[in-house]
Structure 1
Amino acid sequence: MRSPREGTSKGTPPSGFASFRANPNRLLDVVLDTLDSAKAEDVVTIDIKGKTSIGDQMVVASGRSQRHVGAVADHLIRKLKDEGFGRARVEGLPHCDWVLIDAGDVIVHIFRPEVREFYNLEKMWSADRPMERMVV
Structure 2
Amino acid sequence: MKVILASDHAGLELRQELVAALAAQGVAHEDVGPSTRDSVDYPDFAARVSRAVASGEATLGVLVCGTGIGMSIVANKHKGIRAALCTTEFEARMARAHNDANVLCLGQRVVGPAWAAPSWRRSSALLSRAAAMSGASR
Compute the TM-score of the two structures, normalised by the length of structure 1: 0.35
Compute the TM-score of the two structures, normalised by the length of structure 2: 0.34
